[in-house]
Structures are given as structure tokens and as C-alpha cells.
Amino acid sequence: MAELYDRYSSIVYSVALRVLGDAGAAEDILQEVFLQLWRNPGAFDSARGSLGAWLAVITRNRAIDALRRRKPETDIEDVIVSVAPDLAGEADRQRAAEKVRAALSTMPAPQRNALQMAYFEGLSHSEIAAKTGEPLGTIKTRIRAGLIALRKAFQA
Amino acid sequence: MTAHEQFADDLALYALNALEGNDRANLEKHLATCSDCRRELEQLRGDGALLALSTIGPKPPARARQRLLDAIAQETASETRARVAATTTGSRRSWWGWLGWAATAAVVVFAASLWKENSALKQSLALMGSQSAQTAREMEEMRRIAAPILSPQAQHITLVSVKTPPQPQGKAFYLRNRSSLLFMANNLPALPPQKAYELWLIPMEGAPIPAGVFKPDAHGSATVVNPPLPSNMEAKAFAITVENEAGATTPTMPIVMMGTGE
């Protein structure tokens, strides 16, 4: 577990910190995510994707639950994550992160904002629509198009 | 518009846990039958993971690592203490002859569950090329501890008062949150031909649940290890009946042995 921690703690902590904006709360999520992995290592199916991506998704979901003060919505076993780039090594993740940041910077601002509000603030599409004054359908489409644009950045 | 296009935007929201109400229920119904959409959901979650990567940079404080390792060590230790206490407290009252067994059995139940956890962990770690040699050593140690109970060659000796004729005794160790059961009995009377003993879990409510069919050896000893049981079933008692060799789904009276939790 110490080895897994050394390899992946940075990604878990960064995601939790981005969502919660508080170092202490992010450390609590870090603790919770790795304890869950220790208690239930079979929850992650290595045949179905990368541990780094899976931990990023689990952490984001837990952090959003903490942010919105709600009980965890999904069992960690239910989450299957399929991601193209290899995220096992620190250097791989740095390269991928740069690609994602580049893709985000070329995205139209309303699309980037909708995506980030949904992902890092845990807002529903109706909350985003209320906040931006745009139609629900537009927000939905922007979120999906934003996610797919990130995928395409790795297919090029 | 095809069904998949109709669900495309909702699928992205669902991947972010941001879909609510009827839309969510409708999509979940569709996902149950559509493997294409399930694959797309996995992809969209992966796209979300890529977005999460844009945050990387900050490192956790150094104390967080030790905090995690301390929490793991503490959890392991308290689990062991709880199991040993649960099995030895009752023994002091009426199970003098079982004290040694109880302590050993607690270790075996713990060993079995730890082995299960360790083997799952080992699989994950091996696949990532980071298998822990320490885990392997611990598994070997647990197997060595379990051998005197589980090996068919092991001698099982029960000590009883010399003035009392040997009485049939059974002891069940049950961890309901793991559906894990270890049952050991001795001094059981020999059975008529084509008959076997059957162990029953008597739940707090509802009908008795079959918990293993067994025959004692020539010395009247028998062991049942982890029979298939429903998950998280609270036991009011355990009981034994005599049934046909194939076992029964409802107990045939009379109950020959019974015990409630200590």
C-alpha cells in the first residue's frame, strides 16, 4: 500500500484539493480513498483500465460528495473507467496533464466553464443553467462536447 | 434520432454523477440493456479522469503518508483484538475445554479473511508490477497457523473432565459481515447409514438456513468451513439435525444440538 501511495497520492491529493479548496479536507479524502482501496482492493479491476484514472474518478466523486455534504452516492466497485493514455508513471501523467490543459485552453470559454463547473464544483446541469442563464439543453450538450474534445486530444 | 443519440448528453452528465430525477432513472433502465452505452459511459468517465489530470501538481504533506499507514496498522490490530475477545469471553464460562480451540479458531477465521484480502490485494499489485514480498510472507505465516485445524492429517484432541463421560459438543464461529463460518464438533454419535448431520443458521427472522452437511469421523469429530451463506445474515442461533446424506432445505425434527450466541 505504501508503494501505491507513493505512486498515486499526488493525483488523489491534487484532485481533492481542486474540488475542496482546503488542504485539510483534501488530506481527509486522500486518507479515505487509500483506506478504501486497502479494505477492498478487488474493487479496482485492472483489466478494465488504469489505476491512476480510476483513483482520479473515485477521488473526484468522494470530494464532490464531501463538498455537497451528502452521503457517498456510488459504491467504488460500480465505477469502471476507460482511458486511452498510460497514466502509470509520473512522467506519463505530466505529459497527459499538459495535453489536457492545452485542450482546455483551446475550448470556447462557455464550454470550458460548463465542464469545470460540472466536474470540479459538482453542479447539476440545471444549476449551471441557472447560474449562466443559458438553456438546459445547451449546457448538457456543452458538457458532453467538452468531455469528448478531451478524448480527441489524445487520438490526434 | 436513435435511442443512443437520445441518451448521449444524459450519459455525459451521468458519468459526472450530475444527472437527476426521471432522466437518471430512464438512463439507468437503458444502460441495463445497452452494452454500447455502458462502454460509452466508461469512456466518458475516462474523459473525466483526463480532466482531473489538469489539476496535478500539488503534493500531499509528508505526514499524510504516515497517517495512512498508522490507520491501516490500527485497523488490522483492532480487528484481531475484537475477534479474539469475541471468541474467548464466552469460553471462560462454560467452554473450558474449548479455550485453546477458540483462540486457534479465531486466528483461523482471521487468517482466512486476511488471506482473502491479501490474495485480492496481491492480484492487483502483481498486475501493476508491485507485488509485496511482505504480503507473501504474511500469507505463508497465516497458512502455517491454519494448518493444524484444516489439514486432514491433523490430530484433534478435546480435553474433558475425567469424571464426566464425553458429551457431544459443537462450536460455531460466525462473522456475518463476511458470511464466514467455522464450525467444529466432537464426540458426535455415529449416524445410521445414508444419513448425515446438517448445520442450520437460525436467523433473527424467517426460516432456518442450511449451513453445511457433514459426517463425523471415526472419533466423532467434524468441521465445516465457510459453507455458502446469504450475505450479512444475523444469526439468533445455530442448530444441528440429522438428514439424508444429500442434505435438506428445511430441518427434520428433532434438533439434536443447538446453541445461541454468547
Lowest-pLDDT range of A36-40, B141-145, B196-200: B141-145
Confidence of residue B88 (pLDDT cuts 50, 70, 90): very low
Provide CB contacts within 8 A for A139, sequence distance 6+: A114, A125, A128, A129, A132
Judged by CB atoms closer than 8 Å, whether chains meet at A42 and B123 is answered as yes
Please name the residues in contact with A65: beta carbons below 8 A apart, sequence gap of 6 or more: A71, A72, A73
State the smallest CA–CA distance between residue A54 and chain B in angstroms. Answer: 7
* A54: chain B residues, CB-CB within 8 Å: 49
Least CB–CB distance from B72: residue in A1, A125, A126: A1
Find which of B14-23, B25-34, B121-130 is predicted with most confidence, using mean pLDDT: B25-34
Measured between alpha carbons, how far is A19 from A105 in angstroms, rounded to an integer?
19
Contacting residues for A8 by C-beta, under 8 A, at least 6 apart: A51, A52, A55
Instruction: Find chain B residues with C-beta within 8 A of A129's C-beta.
Output: none
For residue A47, the chain B residue with the least C-alpha distance is: B127
For residues B125 and A80, give the distance between their C-alpha atoms in angstroms, rounded to a whole number: 18
Mean pLDDT, residues A1-8 = 83
Instruction: Kindly give the residue spans of alpha helices, DSSP state H, lying in chain A.
Output: 2-20, 23-39, 51-67, 90-106, 109-120, 125-132, 136-153
Burial of B62 (0-12, 13-18, 19+ CB in 10 A): exposed
* C-alpha cell belonging to residue B140: 505463508
Residue B251 sits at the vertex; the CA angle it makes with B246 and B256, to the nearest 5 degrees, is 100
Class of residue B222 by CB neighbours under 10 A (exposed 0-12, middle 13-18, buried 19+)? buried
Tell me the C-alpha distance between A92 and A94, whole Å. 5
Of A10, A12, A14, which to mutate for an interface test with B (greatest number of B Cβ within 10 Å)? A14
The three three-digit cell numbers of residue A54, written as one number: 480510476
ipTM of this model? 0.88
Q: Which residues contact B196 (CB under 8 A, 6 or more apart)?
A: B213, B214, B215, B242, B243, B244, B245, B247
CB B222 within 8 A of CB B189: no
Query: What confidence tier does B112 reach under pLDDT thresholds 50, 70, 90?
Result: low
Model confidence pLDDT, tens digit, residues A73-84: 555 556 667 766
3-class SS of residue B251? coil
CB-CB contact of B147 with B154 (8 Å): yes
Between CA A127 and CA A117 the distance in angstroms is 9
Predicted confidence at residue A63, as pLDDT, reads: 93
What's the gap in Å between the CA of A131 and the closest CA on chain B? 15
Check A143 against B16: CB less than 8 A apart. yes
Across B205-210, average pLDDT? 90
Q: Is the pLDDT of residue B94 over 50?
A: no
Cell of B202: 437460525
- Closest-CA residue of chain A to B121: A41
Which strands, in side-by-side order, build the sheet including B195-203? B209-214, B195-203, B235-244, B255-260
3-class state of residue B235 by DSSP: strand
> Across-strand partners of A112?
none
Closest residue of B to A72, CA-based? Answer: B17
- pLDDT for B110 equals 54
Q: How confident is the model at residue B152 (pLDDT cuts 50, 70, 90)?
A: low
Q: Chain B residue closest to A40 (CA)?
A: B117
Q: What is the pLDDT of residue B187?
A: 86
- The residues that bridge with B242 in the sheet, in sequence order, are B197
Task: Spell out the domains of chain B, with CATH numbers in brackets.
Answer: 3-118 (no CATH), 155-260 (2.60.40)
Give the phi and the psi of residue B200 in degrees, each rounded to 5.
Answer: -125, 135
Question: Is the model's pTM score more than 0.80?
Answer: no
Model pLDDT, residue A52? 85
Residue A123: other Cβ atoms inside 10 A: 21
Q: How far apart are CA B100 and CA B239, in angstroms?
A: 23
Q: From CA A57, how far away is CA B51, in angstroms rounded? A: 10
Residues of chain A with Cβ-Cβ distance to B68 below 8 Å are 1, 5, 30-31, 34-35
Please work out, in degrees rounded to the nearest 5, the angle formed at the alpha carbon of residue A1 by the alpha carbons of B130 and A11: 90
pLDDT at residue B102 in the model: 53
Work out the minimum CA distance from B117 to partner chain A, whole angstroms: 7
pLDDT computed for residue B178 by the predictor: 76
**pLDDT tens per residue across span B33-81:** 999 999 899 889 889 989 998 998 889 998 998 898 888 888 777 766 6
Chain B residues in contact with A151 by the CB 8 A cut-off are 43, 46-47, 50
CA separation (Å) from B100 to B9, B84, B89, B184, B221? 63, 11, 12, 13, 16
Distance from CA of B97 to the nearest CA of A (A): 35
CA Rg, chain B, in Å?
26
Percent of chain B residues past pLDDT 70, beyond the cut: 65
Q: To the nearest whole number, what is the mean pLDDT of chain B?
A: 77
Q: Which amino acid is it at B26?
A: N
Going by C-beta distance under 8 Å and a sequence separation of 6 or more, which residues neighbour residue B110? B79, B80, B83
For residue B119, the model assigns a pLDDT of: 57
C-alpha cell at B235: 444469526
Smallest Cα distance from A152 to chain B, Å: 9
Write the burial class of residue A11 (CB in 10 Å: 0-12 exposed, 13-18 middle, 19+ buried). buried
B16 contacts in A (CB within 8 Å)? Answer: 118-119, 143
Residues 6+ apart with CB under 8 A from B137: none
On the question of pLDDT at A8 being above 60, the answer is yes
